[in-house]
Structures are given as C-alpha cells and as structure tokens.
Structure 1
Amino acid sequence: MAVPLPKIKSKLQGRKERSKSGMDHASTVQQDQWEKLQAENLRLKSELKRQQELYEKSHMELIELMVESEQQAQKLKTMHQRISQAFKHTIQIIQLMIDMRQPGYRMHAERVAEHAQAIALKAGVNKIEAQVIAVAARIHEVGKMSIPEVILSKPTEGLTESEINLLRSQHAIGAALLTKIPSFRSVAQVIRHIRENVDGSGRPDGLSGNEIPIGSRIIALVDCFDTRFMLEQTTHNAEEVLQEIEKQLDLVFDRHLFPFLVDRVRGHYQNSYRPREKSIALAQLREGMRLSRDLYTISGVMLLPRGTELTETLIEKIMRYQSIDPVAGGVYIELR
C-alpha cells in the first residue's frame, strides 16, 4: 500500500529538524568545551606568571640574604681579628711586665714556647691546644710579678725556706691572676699545674700522671732543660742536661713525653754547642763583665753599646735607670 506523499515529506522534515537540533547541541557542547579550555589556559598562564613572580622575588630575597650574610661574615671576621690582635697585645704586655721584673725572661719564654708547641704537636695534641700551650709558655712566670724584687734578685743558696715556698707557688699565683681574664682561663689552667709532679708530690694540687694537663707536663720538661742549659748554663753539653732530667722521670717528669724532648734537643743543639752570651739579672752584674748586646731601656734609650766593659760607675747608672726607665730585654754578657 503506497504511503501518501505528504506524510513522507512530514517524516523527512522531522528527521531534518532532529538532525539539525543534534548538530546544534553538539556545537554547543564543543563551544562550551572550547571556552573551558580557554579559561583553563588563561588560568594556567596566570598561575605561571604568578609562580614566575614568586621565583623572581624569592631569588632577589636570596641574593639580598646572601649579601647580608656576607656582610655579617665580614663583620664577624673583622671582630675576630680585632679580638685576636687584642689577645696578642695582652700577651706582649704581660711579657713586657715580667721582663721589667726579671730582665731577659722573654728570650727564655720564647724558646720554651717554641719547643713546647712543637713537642705538643708531635705528641698528638691538636693545633688549638698546642697554641694554648705556647701562650702559657710565653707567660708561664707571670706570678713573679707579685714576688718582691729582693727575693727575685737573691741567688738560690741565699733564699730562706719561706722565700723558696713563695717562689714555688708562683705558677699558682700567676694562674689565679689570669683566671680573672675570661680569654686566659684555659692558659691559666696550664700554668697552674706546671709544678705538679707525675708521682703526685708536686704543687699546688698534688695531681699525678695524666691528671696533670699535658701542656703543664710539656712546659715543665722544656722549662727545666732551657733553664739549666741556656739560663744557668750548668753545662755546655745538652746530653748531660738530658741525662739529669732522665733521672727524674716517673718522679717529676712524664716518661712518655721525654723522647719528644730528646728529639727536639738533638735537632737543635749539638754536643759541642757553647753559648757565646748569657742573660743575667741586674743584681748579678759585676765589674769587668762585657756586654754582648746593646743595652736599651723600655722607652728606647740606649744606655750602653755592645762590647762595653762594665765598671762600678756604669753598673750604678744602670741601676738608677731601672727605677725610672727599666732595662728592656735583659742584660746579656759575653762568655769567655
């Protein structure tokens, strides 16, 4: 049965309209999706820009912080240098004050410091502690500033028992003075125990063995050697002095540190070594002695040139200056 033409047209028209409607809907969906993609793209661009601005800001802040840190580091470095310089100046002032009380002390102290620091490093002491030991050695006789001049100028055989005890207490006295200065407290501890004996019979605290700071034990060894060999010059043979010290091992001195002293001495002094001059106290000056060095006062005035043979008049002149402008660096005489 044939379908009427109008009805066919109507169906076709309906299909076209539905197809057009579907296409319009699809187009609308695509448009929405496009708009969403554009919006997301804009959002991402905006976020990227914001992140870039944050990065640039953070980078600038980091640079500023680095610059500020560098400036602070430079300030700290400058401050540390000033403190270090002040510390060195304080040591020099203390040395000068000791030298005024006991002219010629400084050269002895410098030798002890040089040898003690080298031995400390050989014995495994770290560099910082070795430096503390060297400083302690440079000013280890600071306690003598509190001892009357009349006692310091006496020969050992002329001292009374109480005067001997006072001299033996000089390191504890000096340590007590230095402890009042915060930056010298570690140095003070080393100085305090220089006269301790490894068998516990020493002073001031009767410490023994490793209870005694290693710096104190090292300085005790070196000070004994330099005093006998360079100051008192009881012998011109370094081996003889070492033999005397060896007899006191395990009693006064540390046996384990002794080999380092032996190596140091043998590396610096030959058996035939003979000093050509000697530093002596003013009270020991005698007519006929000849100066081996120019004699200056603290203020730089030359009292006498090297080679001068002392007379009673010249000795009196030196003594007069001592009360107003003390001798600097000690009096050195020729050994004949």
Structure 2
Amino acid sequence: MNKQSVDIFILSGFLGSGKSTLLKELIQLEKKQGRRMGVLMNELGDISIDSAIIPSNTPLKEMLNGCICCTIQGELSVQLNVLIQDHELDAIYIEATGAAHPLEIIDACTHPILASKVNVKAVLTVVNAKQWYEKKMSNKLKKLLVEQVKYADVVLINKKDQVEESVLSLVKESIKEINDQAIISSVTFGKWDSLFLYKKDPHLGEYSQTLDGTHDSHVHDHLHLRTVSFPVNQAIDRIQFLHWLERMKGQLIRAKGFIYLKESPGLFLFNYAYGDPVFERYKMDKTYHPVLVFIGEDLDQVEIEQGLRKL
C-alpha cells in the first residue's frame, strides 16, 4: 500500500468532446515527469474502445455496462482501492462516461475506505466548442453539460479550430457565467499546458490561460469543490455534531464516514446529503478506522479540524 496519498484527476465531458484525446496527452506528460500512473475508464457499453489508447505498461481498470454516477458507483470505490493496493502509483486518471455527473464521481472517490489514500486534485471538463454553442440536444442533456462545467476546476474548450473566433469568445463567456472560478482554456486535439497540475498544491498557485492560450496570471485560490478528510479518534456527541455541521462555513454538499458516538456503543456509518443526516450502526466484520470526509465549496480545512477536536 502507498505510504502517501494518490492524486486523483477526473476527466469529465459529454460524448465526443475529446476526453480520450486529452487523456492520451496527459499520459505522455506523466511519463515525462517520471510519475507512476494508473487509469480507470468507464464506458456505457459492454466493449471498451477507448482503452486502446492506454499504453500496455499502464495499470488499467475498466468499468463497462454502466455509468459511474449511477449503476456502478460502488464498484468505482472498489476498483480504485484495488489499483492503489496492487500498484505503487502517484496518480490515477478517471475517464468517466459522457453521462456522468462530476459530483457523483467525487462522492465515489471519497468513500471512507479511501479517505487516507487519495487526494482529489482536480476535475477537468472537456467541452466541444461547436456542440456547446449550437446546443442541438435535449434539455436534459443541456442541463448535464452545465453541471459538468459547474463543478469543474479546469474547463477545456476543445476543437476550437471548428468554430470562428467570435463563437469561441461567446462560448468562453457563457462558461464563465456558469463557473467563474475555473481555469478556462481553448485547445485543439487536447493539447494543453497542464504542467501546473503536478505542483504539490496546485490550487494555491497563480495560473490561468487566456482564450488564445497565453498565460494570464491571477490567483486561483482553491479548487471549486474541496474534499477534506480527518481521522476522528474520539467518540463525539451526536447532537453537538449535527449543530456543528449546520454552522459550518462554506457550502457543505456531502459528508460521510465512520464514527463513534458518546451515547451509543459501536461504530456508526454516517451519511449526510442535502441537509439530511443518517446514522447507521455498522455491523460488518471488517474493521474500519473512524474518519470523516467532507465535500463542498469554500470549506476551511483548518476550521473543520479544530471544530472536530472540540466535539
């Protein structure tokens, strides 16, 4: 098992946007950096086509016949854990189906069994410039594309060579209206200056790219969605814990983990989504260490840790 956490990069984007091409570029860059990487690919069909681009010496897991964010979400956590246990990796790239929602993938990546093993570095969403501009699709698919952009840390407007410069500007502005925190860059064939991703703490760097690909430095304070996890060695008071969650700064989207409660013996599985907390007594034989994972926007890691210690 790795002594340090594995970087997780999530590749999101609708069908035909160019995720696989981008993945191929990122694999080559990882090799140049001397980093050890694995890939987890998800396809809706029962045959994997895109996996043909993955070098034979790269650890690969394929999840077929379902979408990560619905039918096989639990399997993603399992397969990630297997990749981490079987290989000494610095990074894992997850290429999701075009139908996947980034938040659901992050949720699967931060299962309590993975909390101390992974570090979700960034969500990279690829947008087909022409497809985004023309929006020739159902309202349901339009909403999905918006969600994929909304939760991205980096939005790559791909296939810029297929549209006029004026259209490219309109696409960029509309994306910025949805997510003004993301790094937005226009590319062709997934070629992109992505070296900043491999800094030790990329969300504290100064980096952006203008529409023409030139650098326009500004402070990119944090990833759009933060995942924060902490071991919780002491039993906590259930009521105080729930009150503390309600007062937490930032927007808490999801919380989960294994915890001990002062008022009841035994380990509990905790889940919190859409303001609804659920405590379930954990009855499985396998032992898990108490840990809590938080997913949200503008979460303060130091404040969360201090608050947990006071419970």
- The structure with the largest alpha-carbon Rg is 1
TM norm. shorter chain > 0.5:
no
Higher helix share: 1
Q: Which structure is higher in RCO with an 8 Å CA cutoff and minimum separation 6? A: 2
Q: Structure 2 length as normaliser, TM-score?
A: 0.24
